[in-house]
C-alpha cells in the first residue's frame, strides 16, 4: 500500500501525461510488476479459473507468425488488465505482458488509477459514453480519438499486436431489478471499426471473444459517474477469464443482406459467445461448481500453484 501511495503522490507532484499510445513503463520503476503485486493478494486462486487454454495457445502462435489478434471483451473493473495478466502469467507470460488495452480517459486521468495504468500498454481514447460530459471538451476529445485511431492503425500495420477492447465503452453493472451482473451490451459500431482497422492493416488479423468475471475484486460504483474520484472497495475473491474460438466476420455474416445487418450480426455473435463463457465462469466461481462447470465449449483449468 505504501508503494501505491508513493507512486500516487509522485504523480500529483509531477503529473504524467499519457500520449495516445503509451508503452508500459518497466524501468527504472517497473509499473507493470507494481500493478501485478498490488492486485495478486486480492485474487483467490483456489476459486479462480481460466477457460480454453488451447485457444490462448493458438493466439500465441498467431502472434508468433506476425498476425494481429484483437480480444473483444466485456469490462468489469479497473483491475481487469492485472487480473488477465495474473491468470495467464504462469502459462502465457508473453500474452500477459504484451496486451495493449484500448483505455478510456478515466484510467489515464484518475490519480488513483494512473500509476497502475502506467504499467500497461495503452491506446488512449475518449469513450462515447463520456464524450458529452463536458460540452466544451467534445471537439478536443474527437481530435484526440482520431490521433489514437491513427496510432492503432500504425501498430496493426507492424503486425504481432495483441489488442484488448471492450465495445461496451465502460464497465458492466448489475441488472437493477435482479441484482445479477452480466456483460454490458456492445456498441456494434465499435466492433465494426475495430474489425475494419484490423482488415485494412495488410497483416492477417483475428478477433476472439474474451469473457472476464472479476467484479467482486473491485466493483465499479453502482451508477456510471461523470466525476473522477469514485470510492474504491476491494475484496479477496475468485476471478475468471475465458476465451472463445476466433469468430470470422465472413462466416458469421454470409447470409446477411447488407453491411448494416452484417455489423449487428457480427457484434451479436461476439457478445453471445462472451455471455455464454461468462455464465460458465459464474457457475464455476459463484455457484461453486469449480472445474465441473466445464462444458464442450469452455474447458476450465487452474494453471497455477495455489501458493501464488
Other CB atoms within 10 Å distance of the CB of residue 268: 15
| Interface contacts to ligand G3P, rule CB under 6 A | 75, 78, 104, 106-107, 129, 170-171, 220, 224
CB of 127 to ligand G3P, least distance (A): 6
Judged by CB, which is closer to ligand G3P: 205, or 220?
Answer: 220
CB of 233 to ligand G3P, least distance (A): 14
How many Å from the N-terminal Cα to the C-terminal Cα in the chain? 19
Residue 65 to residues 29, 68, 69, 173, Cα–Cα distance (Å): 31, 9, 11, 37
Burial bucket for residue 98 (CB in 10 Å: 0-12, 13-18, 19+): middle
Judged by CB, which is closer to ligand G3P: 69, or 107?
Answer: 107
CB of 165 to ligand G3P, least distance (A): 11
Nearest-angstrom CA–CA distance, 36 and 3? 13
Give backbone dihedrals phi and psi of 31, rounded to 5 degrees, phi first. -70, -25
Nearest-angstrom CA–CA distance, 256 and 193? 18
| Given the residues 11, 14, 80, 187, the one annotated as active site | 14
User: Is 14 marked active-site?
Assistant: yes
Four-point Cα dihedral 101, 24, 67, 95, nearest 10: -80
Q: Which residue is nearest to ligand G3P (CB)?
A: 170
Judged by CB, which is closer to ligand G3P: 79, or 95?
Answer: 79
Judged by CB, which is closer to ligand G3P: 80, or 192?
Answer: 80
Q: Partners of 210 in the beta sheet?
A: 73, 243
CB of 101 to ligand G3P, least distance (A): 9
CB of 183 to ligand G3P, least distance (A): 12
Cell 502506467, residue located = 118
Judged by CB, which is closer to ligand G3P: 101, or 249?
Answer: 101
Catalogue the active-site residues.
Answer: 14
Amino acid at each position: 500500500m505504501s508503494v501505491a501511495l508513493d507512486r500516487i503522490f509522485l504523480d500529483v507532484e509531477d503529473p504524467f501525461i499519457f500520449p495516445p499510445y503509451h508503452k508500459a513503463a518497466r524501468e527504472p520503476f517497473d509499473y507493470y510488476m507494481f500493478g501485478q503485486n498490488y492486485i495478486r493478494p486480492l485474487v483467490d486462486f483456489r476459486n479462480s479459473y481460466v477457460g480454453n487454454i488451447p485457444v490462448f495457445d493458438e493466439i500465441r502462435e498467431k502472434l508468433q507468425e506476425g498476425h494481429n489478434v484483437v480480444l473483444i471483451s466485456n469490462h468489469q473493473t479497473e483491475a481487469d488488465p492485472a487480473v488477465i495478466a495474473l491468470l495467464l502469467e504462469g502459462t502465457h507470460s508473453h500474452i500477459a505482458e504484451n496486451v495493449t488495452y484500448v483505455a478510456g480517459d478515466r484510467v489515464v486521468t484518475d490519480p488513483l488509477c494512473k500509476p497502475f495504468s502506467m504499467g500497461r500498454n495503452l491506446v488512449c481514447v475518449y469513450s462515447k459514453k463520456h464524450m458529452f460530459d463536458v460540452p466544451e471538451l467534445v471537439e478536443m476529445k474527437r481530435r484526440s480519438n482520431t490521433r489514437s485511431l491513427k496510432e492503432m492503425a500504425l501498430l496493426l500495420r507492424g503486425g504481432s499486436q495483441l489488442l484488448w477492447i471492450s465495445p461496451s465503452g465502460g464497465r458492466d453493472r448489475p441488472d437493477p431489478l435482479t441484482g445479477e451482473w452480466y456483460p454490458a451490451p456492445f456498441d456494434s459500431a465499435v466492433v465494426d471499426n475495430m474489425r475494419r482497422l484490423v482488415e485494412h492493416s495488410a497483416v492477417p488479423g483475428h478477433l476472439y471473444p474474451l469473457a472476464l468475471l472479476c467484479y467482486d475484486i473491485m466493483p465499479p460504483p453502482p451508477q456510471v459517474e461523470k466525476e473522477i474520484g469514485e470510492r474504491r472497495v476491494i475484496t479477496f475473491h475468485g476471478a475468471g477469464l475465458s476465451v472463445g474460438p476466433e469468430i470470422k466476420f465472413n462466416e458469421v455474416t454470409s447470409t446477411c443482406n447488407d453491411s448494416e445487418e452484417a455489423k449487428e450480426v457480427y457484434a451479436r455473435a461476439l457478445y453471445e459467445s462472451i455471455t455464454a463463457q461468462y455464465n460458465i465462469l459464474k457457475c464455476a466461481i459463484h455457484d461453486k461448481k469449480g472445474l465441473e462447470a466445464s462444458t464442450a465449449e469452455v474447458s476450465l483449468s487452474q494453471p497455477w500453484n495455489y501458493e501464488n
